[in-house]
Structures are given as structure tokens and as C-alpha cells.
């Protein structure tokens, strides 16, 4: 169009006379050209407008669809120009970034009020964050202000891509923004709980292990390692089964399979493991399976609790329930159970007991030896069984003391019958070596009336005992019945109690000393002091006959003090200054420090080394030591006086008492020794207790040794010292001093264990 008008103008400028007509033609042409041009312009503009309207409509439709897609997406989208001006921002993006669309659109990203930090909380520029990056595979993680205040940061994942424009060639940057706060918190929580779990595991008081699906130890804690006698590092990667006792190797296999297959969520089993040092430990295993979120098995979590102590205790209990190993009769425990049951569950029948005590048994023992004594006891047991003949239960409750329990409608008559039958049976002489021995027994019996029944087994046995003492006082081989009408419940006892009172204050109670031998050198290293009462009419009484009557605490304390002084004098009179004396003390005599004072006074007075006086306390009396008793024992131990646990193995106390009390050594109860070597339970328990005591660093003393076989067996399973009739009975101080025994040195360490040692931890 411009060209045509230009031509017309040139022609007009070059015009002459006939220029007027030429000019009009030119003007017309120009006008026509203009009109044509204008028309073309109008048409083109309309087409363009229509096209633009369609494009706008399409763009709006697309935008609505786009917005719908954007707003339903968890990710926000931001589109900027190459220069960083914001072209588009989805709703999600506005929410994540905490901005409004109006403050963003059309503005440069560099000028926006965005506070962005990197993972170390250092501020970063928005234009850097949203700039396209060549490597888009690693998204950036940045923090933007959260909704919960100034310190709150929401972590977002940003990835930007540069897109080259298709038609107009203008490139744009598309950024997706994903809020990862939730994911990140979950991951952190996982990390945190994992760390907490590991910490808890390391410090758990039970053994714990993480075990892989091949049943190999991935991680174990300290307790677990100690239980196995190994180290945490040493156990990592070890097949768990390699620690098993060979016989228990596959004990958990089936259960593991069931766990793996999802039939159970955890299981428990008890089995044996072998420690690195070869010792066997029992343990209860508690196994759970940890699965991935999808349910696939990942690893096992195992808890292990050492039950060796429990096992040993239950073996002990089983052993205690057994009968007297020498005679096969019920023992005292069983007798108690029987009486308890009968008395607490009364029926129409009566309950009564016959107390049987051999006459002159000690003399027989002294004259013919312990083997003969045993032979006699077995014989008497047979006579008693025959006499009872199914009418009563026979028990042996002490050296030569037996009890027959009768449960019958006519108790007294049956018991009288049985007693007569016993006297008859004993009339047949017993062949010992080349001698014909005549045995006899004194018997007393009692029926449980209401008063006695209320006092339980002890009252019934006490009543029969009282009758038996009257029989003994009347001469050998007699029977007396307890009769509440002619004799108060404790008349004979209270008579003896009164006498005892005098005897204690007069000092008639004396100590006899039984030598204690070093089992390996067979030399005397010490003595056990055993109290005796030289009774004017009853003869030499053993402690079982009078100590139970010593109910007055003050009197017991006086006796204790007198005996400590006696023992100290005996020690001072010894030719050597290394042998020691162990003194028995009951828990009732302790608590007010009088006993400890008397020991310390005697030590000072006779200038004795404190290790030469040793204190023996029965395990039973220590079941629940009160703090004052504990204090007094600790006081003694701290002064260097060793403390021994007597009758070890008979108490029901948990073995942990051993390490909690100030104990320096243990004395194996003679009931275990009696069964050696024939009785497998006795032998097994002796061995186990010996190992335990040595493990705890305690001195080991076995008592009641009557045969060489017992001495050998005990020495072989670690019992260092021993006493018993094999070596000698308890004798008066002067007799022993006159004998001039072959002595050796074995002092008991009052503090056998390091206070900081493994055991205390
Ligand atoms: P215990 O301390 O267990 O004493 C061991 C008992 O076994 C003693 O009986 C001892 O004579 C006896 N005996 C020693 N060797 C053998 C043996 O080879 N075979 C057999 N069958 N027995 C043997 P005893 O002297 O009758 O003492 C009985 C209990 O009286 C003692 O048991 C002790 O608990 C208590 N006792 C003894 N003396 C005292 C004391 O001075 N004070 C206190 N509180 N209690 C004492
Ligand atoms: Ca003792
Ligand atoms: Ca004992």
C-alpha cells in the first residue's frame, strides 16, 4: 500500500499542463488504494480478533483445567520467565511458600518477600533456589517459614527445569515444590526411636540381641555378651546356634519358622548355652520378629534372661523333697509338709506322732565308728517301718531321731502299739563286726488335741518330744504318752528352760570343737565350736535338745558372749597362731551389736588376729535379714572377721543373697554330703553348689563327711575344707590340746570379692 501512494505522489510531482487530469487520476488511485488497504486491514483485524478470542477462550479453559490439576496435586508449581518474573503460581505453591498469588504474579522472584534457608538454616536467595539446574536428579531441600510461629520451618523439596518455548522461542522455568515436612519428621522420628532403642538395648538389664534372618547375631548388648562369657564385638556376626548347648541346638527352630510364617508374633523357650569358658548357662529366650512396613520379615529381636539360678533352686527344691538318703525315710521337710497338711485339714480321724530317740547312740558311734552307726540307723529304720506297717509314716529328722506320724480314729492306741512293736523289734541284737549289739530307744507320743493342733506341727512334735524326754529320764527303752491333764503343754520343757537359765548363767554350757581339715593336705586348719550342756542327770545334751528352749533373747545374748570368750581362750591356748574357731550364732542373737562387741572384745583381750574367729550363720536365718542384723555382720566383716553361711543349700533364699550379704564362705549342708556318691542328686547339687561358691570367690567347707569316698568326691568338685566323723567328732578343748593335732594354715579371706567386681555390678 505505501508503494502505490508513493508512485502516485511521484507522478503528481512530475506533472505539466495536462497535469490536472493526471492529478485527479492519481488522487483517485490513491483513494482506491487507501480504501483497499483499509478494507484489507479491517478484514485482517477481524480475523485476528476472532483468532485471539478463540485462543483466549482456549487458554482460559486450559488454565481452568490446569488449575484444577494443580490444586489437586500435592506439589506446587511455579513458572517464571527466563529473567525470573513469576508467570504462574499454583494454589498449592502459594500455600507451601506462604504467599498470595497477587503479591507474586508478574514480579521478579528476586524481589519477593520469601525467607528461605538451606538445610543448615543459612539464608539462601530465592532466585538461586528456583533457578533451573542442569542436574535435576538431586532435588534441593530448603526450609520456608512454617505455620507455627517464627521458629517453625517447613522443609520443601524444589526442582526446577528450563523449558525452551516452542513457538515464540521464549524459554520458561518450571519449578515443582513439594512439602516434605511430614516425611522428614517421620524419618527423624524413626532415626530418633532407632537411637533410643539402641541406647535402651545397650543398657538393658537383660541380655538383648538383634539377629538376622539367617539367625546370626547382628548386635548384642553387654549383658548378653557377659552371659556368654564373651564380648559385644566378639559376638557380632556369630551364628546364634553356635552358642547353644549341643543338645539344645535346634530347640527354637520350629518356633522360629512359625514366627517367620506369621503364625505367631513372638515366642519364649528355655534352653542351655555354653559360655566361652565352657560353663553351661540356662536362659529363657524371648524372640520377636521385626517386619518392614510392607510386612516382609526384617530381623529378630531376642531377649535372654539367665535362669541358671532358678534352675539350681528348683533342683534344690526337688532334692529337699527327697527322702533321707541314708535310710530312705521321709526327711524333716516332708514330715513338716505331712503334719501341716493333716493339721490344717482336719477330718474325723486324729493326728498323732511318736518321737523315737535311740539310747546311747553316740557311744556306739564313738566305739565302732560312723559306718557302724550308719548300719545301726538303717537297721532301726527297718524296725520302725515294720512296726508302723502301713499304719503310719516314718521320718528321720536328725542323727538318731525318728518320728512316726499316725492318722487314725484311735490314734493313742495305734501309737502305743507301734511303740511296743519298736521295742520288740529292737530286741533282736544287731551284728556289728564281731559284736552283738543291743539297741534300745526312748519314745514319747502325743495326739493333737485342739490346743496342740492350733500350735501346728511344732507344737505336736514338741509335745511328743517332751514325753520322750520323760521316757529317757526314766531309763532306757521306755515309752511315755503326753497327757495334758497331768502335764501342762510345756511342763517338761519349762522345767528344762528354767534349768537352762541357771546353766547359762553358771557357765555350765561348754564348747566342744570339731576339727576342720584342708581336704587336700589333710591338716587341721580350724575348728567348729559346738555347744554342749553337761546336764547333771540327763548327761551330755546336744544343742538340739536345749537351744530351741532358749527363747529369752537376753539369755541367748549372755550365752553367746560366754561362748565367744571360751572360744577365744581355746585359741589363745593353741600352740600355733593360725588355726581358727568358727562360732555358731543364731539370727536372734544378732541385731544389737552385743555379739559383734563380744567378738571384738575377745579379739582385743587375747590379742588374736580377727581372722581367727569365724562366725557361722544358717542360711535359713538369713532369708530376710533385717538391716540391723546385716549391719552387725558387716561390722564384723569389716573388722576382719569372716562370716560363713551354714547349712548352705537348704534355704530357699535366692542365691543372689550370697552376693548381697557380707558372706566370706559357705558350708555345704550335710544332707547333700550324706548321699555322696550313690545319690545322684546329692552329688550333682554338691558339685553345682561348689562351682557356684567358687565362682563367687567364697571359701568352701563341706560338713558331715563320714567316708573317704565323700571326702574325695567333695575335694574333686572344689570343696577346699571339710569336717565330719571321718576326721573326728567334736571334743572338749583339753582333749584336743592334749592330742597335739597336725595343723596347717588356711585362713578365710573376710572380703573374698572386690567391691567393684563383676558380681556387684
Ligand atoms: P551345725 O552348725 O550344722 O553343726 C553340725 C552338726 O553336725 C553338729 O551337731 C555336729 O556334731 C554334727 N556332725 C558333725 N560331724 C558329723 C558327721 O560326720 N555326721 C553327722 N551325721 N553329724 C555330724 P550338733 O553339735 O548337735 O549341733 C547341731 C546344731 O546346733 C548346729 O548345727 C548348730 O546349728 C547349732 N549349734 C551348735 N552349737 C551352737 C552354738 O554355740 N550357738 C548356736 N547359736 N547354735 C549352735
Ligand atoms: Ca555350724
Ligand atoms: Ca551345718
Over residues 68-78, the pLDDT tens digits come to: 666 666 788 88
C-alpha cell at 403: 518320728
The per-residue b/e assignment along 212-245, b for 16 or more CB within 10 angstroms, e otherwise, is beeeebebbbbbbbbbbbbebeebeeeebeebbe
Give yes or no for residue 122 having a pLDDT over 90: no
Cα 530 to averaged position of ligand 1 atoms, centre (Å) = 6
Establish whether the linkage from the previous residue to 677 is cis, with ω within 30° of 0: yes
Cα 101 to averaged position of ligand 3 atoms, centre (Å) = 94
Helices 450-473 and 332-344 pack at an angle, to 10 degrees, of: 140
Give yes or no for residue 561 having a pLDDT over 80: yes
Give yes or no for residue 15 having a pLDDT over 50: no
Cα 443 to averaged position of ligand 2 atoms, centre (Å) = 28
- Does 8 share its domain with 79? no
- Does 679 share its domain with 760? yes
C-alpha cell at 139: 532435588
Which of 259, 277, 306 is a domain's end point? 306
Of ligand 1's listed atoms, the one at least distance from the Cα of 705 is 18
- Which of 729, 722, 681 is CA-nearest to residue 705? 722
Q: What is the pLDDT of residues 592-642, one digit of tens each?
A: 899 999 999 999 999 999 999 999 997 666 656 577 888 899 999 999 999
Question: Does residue 610 line the site of ligand 1, with CB under 6 A?
Answer: no
Question: Does residue 727 line the site of ligand 1, with CB under 6 A?
Answer: no
What are the phi and psi torsion angles at 272 (to 5°)?
Answer: -100, 145
Query: Look-up: residue for cell 517464627?
Result: 150
Domain at 734, CATH number: 3.20.20.450
DSSP secondary structure string, 366-421?
HHH-HHHHHHHHHHHHHHHHHHHTTSEEEEE-SSSEEEEEEEETTHHHHHHHHHHH
Question: Does residue 586 line the site of ligand 1, with CB under 6 A?
Answer: yes
Report how far residue 4's alpha carbon sits from residue 26's, in angstroms, rounded to the nearest whole number.
Answer: 10
- Does 654 share its domain with 545? yes
Number of neighbouring beta carbons within 10 Å of residue 527: 29
Type and span of the H or E element at 40: helix 19-72
- Which of 467, 445, 463, 443 is CA-nearest to residue 453? 463
Judge whether 519 and 711 are in contact, CB under 8 Å. Answer: yes
C-alpha cell at 695: 565362682
Cα 353 to averaged position of ligand 1 atoms, centre (Å) = 25
Pick the residue with more confidence: 512 or 683? 512
DSSP secondary structure string, 583-644?
EE--GGG-SSSHHHHHHHHHHHHTT--GGGEEEEEETGGGSS--HHHHHHHHHHHHTT--EE
- If you take atom 27 of ligand 1, which residue's CA is the nearest one? 543
Give residue 287's domain range: 204-306
3-state secondary structure of 356: strand
Judge whether 465 and 355 are in contact, CB under 8 Å. Answer: yes
C-alpha cell at 316: 534344690
For residue 19, what are the CA distances in angstroms to 7, 24, 32? Answer: 15, 9, 19
Count of structural domains, the chain: 4
Query: Look-up: residue for cell 567386681?
Result: 757
51 in a structural domain: yes
Judge whether 299 and 213 are in contact, CB under 8 Å. Answer: yes
- Does 278 share its domain with 164? no
- Does 162 share its domain with 215? no
Question: Does residue 514 line the site of ligand 1, with CB under 6 A?
Answer: yes
Question: Does residue 542 line the site of ligand 1, with CB under 6 A?
Answer: yes
- Confidence class for position 360, pLDDT limits 50, 70, 90: confident
Judge whether 174 and 77 are in contact, CB under 8 Å. Answer: yes
622 in a structural domain: yes
- If you take atom 23 of ligand 1, which residue's CA is the nearest one? 704
Q: What is the pLDDT of residues 283-296, one digit of tens each?
A: 999 999 988 767 78
Q: What is the pLDDT of residues 505-527, one digit of tens each?
A: 888 999 999 999 999 999 999 99
Give yes or no for residue 7 having a pLDDT over 50: no
- Does 14 share its domain with 156? no
Residue 755: its pLDDT value, please? 40
282 in a structural domain: yes
Amino acid at each position: 500500500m505505501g508503494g502505490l501512494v508513493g508512485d502516485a505522489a511521484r507522478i503528481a510531482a512530475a506533472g505539466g499542463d495536462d497535469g490536472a487530469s493526471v492529478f485527479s487520476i492519481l488522487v483517485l488511485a490513491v483513494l482506491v488504494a487507501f480504501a483497499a488497504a483499509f478494507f484489507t486491514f479491517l478484514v485482517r483485524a477481524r480475523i485476528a480478533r476472532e483468532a485471539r478470542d478463540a485462543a483466549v477462550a482456549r487458554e482460559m479453559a486450559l488454565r481452568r483445567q490446569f488449575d484444577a490439576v494443580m490444586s489437586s496435586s500435592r506439589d506446587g508449581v511455579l513458572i517464571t520467565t527466563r529473567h525470573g518474573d513469576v508467570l504462574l503460581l499454583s494454589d498449592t505453591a502459594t500455600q507451601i511458600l506462604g504467599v498470595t498469588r497477587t503479591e507474586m504474579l508478574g514480579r521478579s522472584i528476586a524481589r519477593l518477600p520469601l525467607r528461605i534457608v538451606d538445610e543448615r538454616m543459612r539464608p539462601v536467595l530465592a532466585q538461586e533456589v528456583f533457578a533451573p539446574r542442569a542436574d535435576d536428579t538431586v532435588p534441593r531441600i530448603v526450609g520456608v517459614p512454617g505455620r507455627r510461629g517464627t521458629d517453625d520451618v517447613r522443609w520443601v523439596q524444589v526442582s526446577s527445569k528450563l523449558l525452551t518455548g516452542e513457538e515464540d522461542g521464549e524459554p520458561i522455568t518450571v519449578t515443582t515444590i513439594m512439602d516434605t515436612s511430614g516425611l522428614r519428621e517421620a524419618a527423624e522420628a524413626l532415626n530418633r526411636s532407632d537411637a533410643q532403642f539402641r541406647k535402651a538395648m545397650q543398657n538393658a538389664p537383660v541380655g538383648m540381641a538383634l539377629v538376622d534372618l539367617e539367625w546370626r547375631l547382628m548386635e548384642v548388648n553387654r549383658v548378653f555378651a557377659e552371659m556368654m562369657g564373651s564380648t559385644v564385638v566378639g559376638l557380632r556376626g556369630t551364628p546364634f546356634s553356635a552358642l547353644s548347648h549341643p543338645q539344645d541346638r535346634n530347640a527354637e527352630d520350629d518356633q522360629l519358622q512359625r514366627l517367620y510364617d506369621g503364625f505367631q508374633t513372638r515366642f519364649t523357650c528355655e534352653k542351655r548355652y555354653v559360655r566361652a569358658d565352657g560353663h553351661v548357662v540356662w536362659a529363657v529366650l524371648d524372640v520377636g520378629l521385626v517386619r518392614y512396613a510392607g510386612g516382609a520379615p526384617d530381623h529378630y529381636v531376642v531377649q535372654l534372661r539367665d535362669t541358671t539360678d532358678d534352675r539350681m533352686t528348683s533342683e534344690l527344691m526337688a532334692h529337699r523333697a527327697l527322702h533321707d538318703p541314708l535310710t530312705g525315710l521321709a526327711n524333716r521337710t516332708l514330715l513338716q509338709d505331712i503334719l501341716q497338711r493333716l493339721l490344717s485339714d482336719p477330718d474325723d480321724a486324729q493326728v498323732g506322732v511318736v518321737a523315737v530317740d535311740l539310747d546311747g547312740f553316740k557311744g556306739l558311734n564313738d566305739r565302732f565308728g560312723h559306718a557302724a552307726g550308719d548300719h545301726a540307723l538303717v537297721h532301726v529304720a527297718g524296725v520302725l517301718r515294720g512296726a508302723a506297717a502301713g499304719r503310719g509314716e516314718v521320718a528321720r529328722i536328725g542323727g538318731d531321731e525318728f518320728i512316726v506320724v499316725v492318722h487314725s480314729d484311735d490314734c493313742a492306741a495305734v501309737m502305743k502299739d507301734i511303740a511296743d512293736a519298736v521295742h520288740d523289734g529292737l530286741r533282736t541284737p544287731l551284728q556289728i563286726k564281731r559284736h552283738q549289739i543291743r539297741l534300745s530307744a526312748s519314745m514319747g507320743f502325743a495326739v493333737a488335741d485342739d490346743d496342740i493342733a492350733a500350735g501346728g506341727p511344732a507344737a505336736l512334735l514338741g509335745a511328743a518330744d517332751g514325753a520322750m524326754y520323760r521316757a529317757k529320764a526314766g531309763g532306757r527303752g521306755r515309752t511315755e504318752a503326753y497327757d495334758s491333764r497331768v502335764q501342762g503343754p510345756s511342763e517338761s520343757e519349762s522345767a528344762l528352760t528354767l534349768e537352762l537359765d541357771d546353766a547359762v548363767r553358771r557357765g555350765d554350757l561348754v564348747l566342744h570343737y570339731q576339727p576342720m581339715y584342708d581336704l587336700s593336705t589333710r591338716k587341721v586348719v580350724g575348728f567348729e565350736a559346738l555347744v554342749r550342756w553337761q546336764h547333771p542327770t540327763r548327761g551330755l545334751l546336744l544343742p538340739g535338745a536345749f537351744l530351741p528352749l532358749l527363747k529369752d533373747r537376753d539369755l541367748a545374748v549372755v550365752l553367746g558372749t560366754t561362748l565367744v570368750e571360751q572360744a577365744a581362750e581355746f585359741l589363745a591356748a593353741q600352740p600355733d597362731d593360725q588355726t581358727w574357731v568358727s562360732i555358731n550364732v543364731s539370727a536372734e542373737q544378732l541385731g544389737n551389736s552385743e555379739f559383734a562387741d563380744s567378738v571384738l572384745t575377745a579379739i582385743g583381750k587375747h590379742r588374736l588376729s580377727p581372722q581367727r574367729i569365724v562366725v557361722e550363720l544358717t542360711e535359713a536365718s538369713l532369708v530376710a535379714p533385717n538391716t540391723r542384723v546385716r549391719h552387725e555382720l558387716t561390722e564384723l566383716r569389716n573388722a576382719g572377721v569372716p562370716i560363713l553361711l551354714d547349712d548352705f543349700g537348704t534355704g530357699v533364699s535366692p542365691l543372689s543373697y550370697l552376693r548381697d550379704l557380707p558372706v566370706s564362705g559357705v558350708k555345704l549342708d550335710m544332707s547333700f554330703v550324706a548321699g555322696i556318691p550313690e545319690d545322684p542328686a546329692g552329688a550333682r547339687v554338691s558339685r553345682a553348689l561348689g562351682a557356684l561358691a567358687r565362682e563367687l570367690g567364697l571359701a568352701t567347707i563341706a560338713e558331715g563327711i563320714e567316708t573317704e569316698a565323700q571326702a574325695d568326691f567333695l575335694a574333686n568338685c572344689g570343696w577346699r575344707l571339710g569336717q565330719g566323723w571321718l576326721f573326728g567328732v567334736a571334743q572338749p578343748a583339753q582333749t584336743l590340746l592334749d592330742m597335739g593335732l597336725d595343723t596347717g594354715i588356711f585362713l578365710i579371706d573376710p572380703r573374698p570379692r572386690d567391691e567393684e567386681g563383676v558380681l556387684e555390678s
